[in-house]
Amino acid sequence: MGTFMDEYRRWIDSPALSEAEWKELDSIRDDPKEIEDRFFAPLEFGTAGLRGTMKVGLHNMNIHIIRHATQAFANVICQGGEEAKKAGIVIAHDCRINGRVFAEEAACVMAANGIRVRLFDALRPTPELSFAVLHYHTAAGLNITASHNPKEYNGYKVYWSDGAQLPPKEAAEIAQQMQEIDIFNGYKTCNLDEAIADGRIEIIGQETDELFLEKVLGETINESAIRDVADDFRIVYTPFHGCGFKLVPETLKRRGLKYLYPCEEQMVIDGNFPTVVSPNPENPEGFYLAVDLAKKVGSDLIIGTDPDSDRIGVLARKGDEFVPITGNQMGELLIDYIITARKEAGSMPENPGIVSSIVSTPMSAAICEANGVHFEQTFTGFKFMAERINAWSNAGTYRYIFAFEESYGYMVGDFVRDKDAVTAAMLVTEMAAVYHKKGMTLLDAVEALYAKYGRYAEKTINLVMPGVDGLKDMQSIMSNLRSEPPKSMAGVDVVRVRDYKDGSIFVTGLGKVAKTDISGSNVLYFELADGTTFIVRPSGTEPKIKVYIMVHGADKAVCDALLEKYVAYADTIKEMK
């Protein structure tokens, strides 16, 4: 590829552009910085697929990138021969702008390559797409979604036959194919209506919903928990304008919840997300309408799911206010509840196992150890957890009962291989109902866990670095942290560093001493003399470096002071470029 200006000229001169696309590119003719941001490099196809802002350009999400990526994906599927093409692909999308257009374009490219397509009739939760891949035994899956990113984004999330996101090997093959295929004329396509009429594209919908819901409801542990408190237990729910609007309320009603109050303003399907700056349940400010409603109706709990309904956020009542439960705290609560409830119900399998990510709370290990449950960690991303779970199953060692990561993602059951806010909403409601019967909120339950297992606290800092300069800065920061790792952080000695890129473990004063169990991810893991963990990694889906701080102390005051100190230090990471 030539310079970014060469690529810009190639695009603006291409007859493949519509008049509106040409005008958009012509409008930035005198803005070299914007041209560079759009054309300095292709969007990188990784194990999370593609994600970017919706603009005309090589480094953005648009119809040309969709066709290009889909042809590459189709080539990789076709390597499996006629059997793989017959097994085909399931395609879904969420509420985002261009979601349906991109999904239909991808379906047409797949069908033109002789691959059988099952296309959902409208927006669907990400976990249902994972379920459909497994249920229909397809070769692959595709979801057009940018999860919880701002409205300007869309994405291309790819799945393999195991229902999990694409393994690194296949992702690398697609990336290689994209380098070899011409973006404007290297793809095949067909007419959507004709492909539907002749059966190359099959539209699926409610029948798949029912099959999915049956599996979701099958993950109930305490059958009577919600019905037992149904007369005085209230929940407010918001889907943040997205995919949870239908199946989350339906699941909770079928479990016996009488008083469910949807946040009507946010039940409106809209990829512009008109009521929130960011449709992310990790951000409490997005719940302001739900909080107003919860106060009005006397709700005990607020549940929110992100636009593609794979993440879940929860706020619990504390007096007249509603307090967010962090992703780590919800993971701790669910681990303890699932273990306890399964033991009481007699449904705990032999050799149970739980999986979490290396950036999630170490309290998970403490709870599992105290309860005789095997615990392991993987890299961030449920595809890695799925790999570990599949390895347990193939070896006949452990039976997984729960998987989670701190970024508000939770997975149970063998019918999905990705985070699942629909099933999580049901289990959170069941758990909250059990505590409600005891006169406890989920906040009370968190405090009870701390009293039992020790006080832990965590904080994630996002260092946002947009554009081409941001990408360079992120690379520079990680390189500098590797070549000259700090000997201390906030005045506390660094005693050990794990570099998960090559698996090296360094001990201060001794040098390299061992290897980590897993490697191959751009993560630096610093262990400090006071027991604090300080982790730095670039986000795989957004232009930012994420810093994870995990502390352990005698009480809340100690933990709060530690967090405050290390949060201040985290801000200095940006200066290490």
Q: Can you tell me the distance from the alpha carbon of 130 to that of 57, in angstroms, rounded to the nearest whole number?
A: 30
Query: DSSP 3-state assignment of 407?
Result: coil
Angular region, 214: left φ>0, alpha ψ -120 to 50, beta rest: alpha
Q: Can you tell me the distance from the alpha carbon of 361 to that of 356, in angstroms, rounded to the nearest whole number?
A: 9
**Nearest CA among 315, 320, 307 for reference residue 284:** 315
**Nearest CA among 310, 311, 313 for reference residue 301:** 313
Query: Is-contact 245 264, C-beta < 8 A?
Result: no
Amino acid at 419: K
Distances in whole angstroms, Cα of residue 329 to Cα of each of 18, 547, 563: 49, 18, 16
For residue 147, indicate whether it is catalytic: yes
Q: Can you tell me the distance from the alpha carbon of 316 to that of 220, in angstroms, rounded to the nearest whole number?
A: 21
The residues pairing with 46 across neighbouring beta strands, listed in sequence order, are 49
Amino acid at 104: E
Q: Write phi, then psi, for 548 (nearest 5 degrees).
A: -110, 125
Q: Can you tell me the distance from the alpha carbon of 42 to that of 471, in angstroms, rounded to the nearest whole number?
A: 13
Pairs from 470-477 (Cβ < 8 Å, separation ≥ 24): 470/543, 471/543, 473/574, 473/577, 474/538, 474/543, 474/544, 474/545, 476/576, 476/577, 477/536, 477/545, 477/573, 477/574, 477/576, 477/577
What's the CA angle centered on 286, arms 282 and 292, to 5 degrees?
125
Angular region, 194: left φ>0, alpha ψ -120 to 50, beta rest: alpha
Q: Can you tell me the distance from the alpha carbon of 526 to that of 512, in angstroms, rounded to the nearest whole number?
A: 14
Catalytic residue among 14, 18, 130, 147: 147
Query: Is-contact 106 144, C-beta < 8 A?
Result: yes
- Number of other CB atoms surrounding residue 1 within 10 Å: 12
Q: Write phi, then psi, for 217 (nearest 5 degrees).
A: -65, -25
* Residue numbers annotated as active site: 147
